Amino acid sequence: MLCVRCNNIFHTKQKYIKHELKYNRGRVKYCSKKSLNEDKLKGKKISCINCNNILYKRPSEIKQSKSGNIFCSRSCAASYNNKNKSHGTRRSKLEIWLEEELTKLYPNLHMDFNGKEAIGSELDIHIPSLNLAFELNGIFHYEPIYGEDKLQKIEENDISKSKACHDAKIDLCVIDTSGQKYFKPKTSEKYLNIITNIINKRTMLNS
């Protein structure tokens, strides 16, 4: 056998090889316990599923991942999960109310709400025919409610969305909704008016 750690040639019994082929436990891949332990300490060479950076993870660390995905940092994990989540999307009462109102006002205008198809990341409102999108940024986008690290990640994600929209030739309109502490239809009308004014102007330009 050839040791996968130090490339030394060593001998082992056939029964151990058969056992390895059946269970794949890695016991006959090393010439000694020292090589086995050194390889465990160094870890397995693997790439981050989000950014493809090379990193080393011990088998025990890899097993801890329930999804089987390995990331080089928490930032990469958050970025990947935000882009690929298929359930559990949290929507504010304002977003739900705006969807209801906009659907009534523009029954013949197709709008995607909280879709990820356009740029691979969630957009609050996307109108494909107008190349137009809206993001409703609450207080969490501007103040460190959950700490500076969380705010920085949110800001980085906002920048990433803006760049992705620019590359896709989608005009992204960011609306600051941080002034609304609690949802009320009356205080939400100003945000609806901002959106409808932009939609109406874009519709006129395209007609």
Phi first, then psi, for residue 157 (nearest 5°) are -65, -40
Helices 185-206 and 93-105 sit at what angle, rounded to 10 degrees?
40
Question: What confidence score (pLDDT) does residue 38 get?
Answer: 65
CB 12 within 8 A of CB 27: no
Question: What confidence score (pLDDT) does residue 1 get?
Answer: 81
Question: What confidence score (pLDDT) does residue 87 get?
Answer: 45
Minimum mean pLDDT among 6-10, 130-134, 151-155: which range? 6-10
The pTM (predicted TM-score) of the whole model is 0.58
Question: What confidence score (pLDDT) does residue 54 get?
Answer: 76
Please give the share of the chain, as a percent, with pLDDT higher than 70: 79
* Each residue's pLDDT tens digit, 44-94: 677 888 788 877 776 666 666 666 777 777 666 766 665 565 444 568 899
The domain locations on the chain are 1-41, 43-73, 93-206
- Greater confidence, 44 or 205? 205
Note the CATH number of domain 93-206: 3.40.960.10
Name the DSSP letter for residue 118.
T
For residue 202, give Cα distances in angstroms to 64, 112, 118, 172.
50, 17, 19, 13
Tokens encoding 2: 């050839």
d(CA 150, CA 156): 10
